[in-house]
Amino acid sequence: MAWEEIATDRTGNAAPLLDLTFDSGTLLTLRGEVRACAIQSGFPEDRAGDVVLAIHELAANAIVHDGGAGRLRIWKLTRALQCQVDDGDLMRSREAETGRGGVGGIRPSSASSPASVNPLPSEKGHGLWMARQLADQVRTLSGLHGTSVLIAFDLSR
């Protein structure tokens, strides 16, 4: 399925199934929410596990390499589950632009310090690599203000 179709589909049905901000202290909760979302959308256990793993890896990337926090949104479209992970830099620049804080859901806990995550010297590319193995489509959007990764899982499989 082309991304153009997904984009059009999304504008017609824009409300996300899930919209939350995350940091190292809320990764476990994020996984639980994503799994529930995937099961609710009709994925069997093993495919739901793939959705959780792929999104977790992107979220962990955002935490370890791009600002300590991020935002996840999941949309259920006609033929795919589409997920977008925005990194912390992107989140902060948008907040600065709009003057608003984070959206509903879990707020990044300012109490969790960078030291609470002890990242291995793993390469930034590994998370994206894992997403590419698991998802049906992957796209990254990098701009001056940060990075978004979009991945889609076909519902028909």
Which parts of this chain interact with another protein (CB under 8 A)?
24-29, 31, 45-46, 49-50, 52-53, 56-57, 60, 63-64, 109, 111-112, 116-120, 122, 126-127, 130, 133-134
| Closest to another protein by CB, 52 or 74 | 52
Q: How far apart are CA 77 and CA 79, in angstroms?
A: 6
In whole angstroms, how close is the CB of 88 to another protein at the nearest point? Answer: 14
In whole angstroms, how close is the CB of 18 to another protein at the nearest point? Answer: 16
In whole angstroms, how close is the CB of 97 to another protein at the nearest point? Answer: 29
| Closest to another protein by CB, 8 or 124 | 124
| Closest to another protein by CB, 93 or 136 | 136
The first and second tokens of residue 112, run together, are 């969790």
| Burial status of residue 82 (CB atoms within 10 A of its CB: 0-12, 13-18, 19 or more) | buried
Per-position DSSP letters for 71-134, written without gaps between them:
EEEEEE-SSEEEEEEEEHHHHHHHHHHH-----SSPPPPTTS-GGGS---S--THHHHHHHHHH
| Closest to another protein by CB, 31 or 94 | 31
In whole angstroms, how close is the CB of 58 to another protein at the nearest point? Answer: 11
